Structure 1
Amino acid sequence: MLTILVVLLRPHMRSSTYLYLSSMAVSDLLILLLLPLDLYKLWRPRPWPFGDLACKLTMFLSECCTFSTILHITFLSLERYLAVCWPITAKTLVTRRRTKTVIGCLWLGAVVSAAPVLMMVGVEEVGGEELGMGGECRCTDYAVSSGLLSAMMILSNLYFLVPLSILGVVYSLIGRTLWLRPQSSRKDQTHRHTVKMLAVIVLVFILCWLPTHTDTHSYILYYLSQYFNLVSSVLFYLSAAVNPLLYNLMSARYRHAHFFCTVCHI
């Protein structure tokens, strides 16, 4: 919440980079709000007492925020690539208004991509109603039989592998450009610091989300090891909480603005 307030209350923090980071903070906040329901599901998988709509919405929001975060990190890295490697072009293309428009499109793309989840999940009886086990919030039989589950798995794989490839190429080009330039330029030093922060964010994102991605698409692992499922869930929620800590550790500008907002609200 403080990450969002920093951008809202401090005009000098409304650069394109921090607009992306504040939008990512919205996604992280939504993910963390789902934590109590996931903990409940872990503690008592069935019966699911919150109804079919809550089941669909929680799964939809989780997938939507996952897609949104991946898109934000990718486009933020592309924006940094333009700023470092094509600075003149970046001044023309990257404006605050266009950045807000891109962020809106990223959220729209994430919503559309996650929409099939609303048809894939629901509350279904497990073990037979006569056994009194009750319904469980899970992927439905219809999703498996219709091929919707397979299509969604392919889409999720593309959402992870394609951005990962793009990020690898982008940061390689940025690193090469900065390495060949003299380090005396103050602007280049700022770019180096920003890129270093974003590279750490991307690395933490990959480390935290790779087990979740593997767990989501490998039901064999799910059934063989509930511990793997638990660890991947913990890392998934850790990724939603760790970004503000990284900003504070790596950005003096963010720390000062963060401190200002905290003091004002106290």
Structure 2
Amino acid sequence: METSSPPLPRSSPNLGLSLDARLGVDTRLWAKVLFTALYALIWALGAAGNALSVHVVLKARTGRAGRLRYHVLSLALSGLLLLVVGVPVELYSFVWFHYPWVFGDLGCRGYYFVRELCAYATVLSVTGLSAERCLAVCQPLRARSLLTPRRTRWLVALLWAASLGLALPMALIMGQKHELETAGGEPEPASRVCTVLVSRTALQVFIQVNVLVSFVLMYCYVPDDAWTDPLYNFYHYFYMVTNTLFYVSSAVTPLLYSVVSSSFRKLFLEALSSLCGEHHPHGAPHSPTLMDTAAGFGDPPETLT
């Protein structure tokens, strides 16, 4: 479900119309089938790839996995958690059945909390990884004394703690509510949604305060007050496309590991062969390439745990 959807272009409630029509949401069948196929492919490849990445990092010998095993493990776990929790809920509650929300208030808060947690953990892990690699490449002697496995573990733990703190507000402001009422003034059960619970007045005050700080925010927010049916339809499908890309980023991470590091690629293929029941004799020790060193795999043994 959208967390920042615009005011729905509804007409007055008409009990003769379908619920989707009354609430301004109508996803065509072809779009549902298309995005179901995309989500299924993303989920299968991403979950398998990230799970295998976790297996590779945990099972690989110390000297082969490199000092960056903790960052890789962090990224793989965040991607796996996001795909396992996010994709099924997204597919059911946004692509196929917009109303009613069936996972309860706790499920609503937990779903968006997990999404934010994984997103922040991924961004912060990539930032920490990039900073370590920059230091290792630009100042290798200094990096050997500073980038110890113990410090890397603490860094990853702090990044996840920061992600928890940054994601917590989402669990507080999200919740389920009813969009429509019956003729008797009672909430209509079928119109139950998972959305922001902050009142529109409080939200407007918050935006006005931020407008004073940033003119760009004001400039981008003004069109929100002039939604039309064609514009809302464009927004609806464009959101589905961009939301798909949100999950693609987690699914392609193992592929990127394999592209930038021949060491990780070899470990990945060995693990895959082992799971498939194929056993290949180990060849000569692999000498890390410059790209392997920059990526964090194949570090000198004395820097590893």
Whether TM exceeds 0.5 here: the answer is yes
Corresponding position of 1:31: 82
CA contact (8 A) 1:124 1:135 kept: yes
| Distance in 2 (alpha carbons) for counterparts of 1:149 and 1:65 | 26
Corresponding position of 2:69: 18
Corresponding position of 1:212: none
Letter in 1 for 2:162: G
CA contact (8 A) 2:100 2:189 kept: no
Once the two structures are TM-superposed, the CA of residue 144 in structure 1 deviates from its matched residue by: 6.5
Corresponding position of 2:122: 69
Corresponding position of 2:137: 84
SS in 2 for 1:16: coil
| Distance in 1 (alpha carbons) for counterparts of 2:223 and 2:173 | 16
Q: CA RMSD in A?
A: 2.8
Greater Cα radius of gyration, structure 1 or 2: 2
Q: Which digits, 9 at most, give the CA deviation of each residue in 1:182-204, with x for residues without a partner?
A: xxxxxxxxxxxxxxxxxxxxxxx
| Distance in 1 (alpha carbons) for counterparts of 2:223 and 2:113 | 19
CA contact (8 A) 1:6 1:258 kept: yes
Corresponding position of 2:255: 245
1:71-220 matches, within 5 Å, as 71-128=124-181, 129-142=186-199, 145=202, 220=224
Once the two structures are TM-superposed, the CA of residue 218 in structure 1 deviates from its matched residue by: 10
| Distance in 2 (alpha carbons) for counterparts of 1:218 and 1:262 | 52
Letter in 2 for 1:111: L
Letter in 1 for 2:274: C
CA contact (8 A) 1:122 1:137 kept: yes
Corresponding position of 2:93: 41
CA contact (8 A) 1:123 1:135 kept: yes
User: How many residue pairs were aligned?
Assistant: 203
SS in 2 for 1:48: coil
SS in 1 for 2:249: helix
Q: Report the TM-score, using the length of structure 1 for normalisation.
A: 0.69
SS in 1 for 2:74: helix
| Distance in 2 (alpha carbons) for counterparts of 1:36 and 1:218 | 34
Once the two structures are TM-superposed, the CA of residue 13 in structure 1 deviates from its matched residue by: 3.9
CA contact (8 A) 1:120 1:143 kept: no
Once the two structures are TM-superposed, the CA of residue 149 in structure 1 deviates from its matched residue by: 7.4
Once the two structures are TM-superposed, the CA of residue 46 in structure 1 deviates from its matched residue by: 1.4
Q: Which digits, 9 at most, give the CA deviation of each residue in 1:148-189, with x for residues without a partner?
A: 976xx99xxxxxxxxxxxxxxxxxxxxxxxxxxxxxxxxxxx
| Distance in 1 (alpha carbons) for counterparts of 2:173 and 2:205 | 7
Q: Which digits, 9 at most, give the CA deviation of each residue in 1:205-242, with x for residues without a partner?
A: xxxxxxxxxxxx99949945112101111100100100
| Distance in 1 (alpha carbons) for counterparts of 2:264 and 2:201 | 46
Structure 1 position 3 matched with structure 2 position 53: yes
Letter in 2 for 1:35: V
| Distance in 1 (alpha carbons) for counterparts of 2:59 and 2:78 | 19
Q: Which digits, 9 at most, give the CA deviation of each residue in 1:109-131, with x for residues without a partner?
A: 00011111111100011122454
CA contact (8 A) 1:72 1:103 kept: yes
Say if 1:22 and 1:135 are closer, same or farther in 2 by CA, change over 3 A.
same
Q: Report the TM-score, using the length of structure 2 for normalisation.
A: 0.60
Structure 1 position 56 matched with structure 2 position 119: no
Once the two structures are TM-superposed, the CA of residue 265 in structure 1 deviates from its matched residue by: 2.6
Say if 1:141 and 1:90 are closer, same or farther in 2 by CA, change over 3 A.
same
Structure having greater relative contact order (Cα 8 Å, sep ≥ 6) = 2
Say if 1:79 and 1:109 are closer, same or farther in 2 by CA, change over 3 A.
same
| Distance in 2 (alpha carbons) for counterparts of 1:8 and 1:219 | 50
SS in 2 for 1:45: coil
Mark the runs of 5 or more structure 1 residues left unpaired by the alignment: 155-216
| Distance in 1 (alpha carbons) for counterparts of 2:222 and 2:88 | 24
Corresponding position of 1:187: none
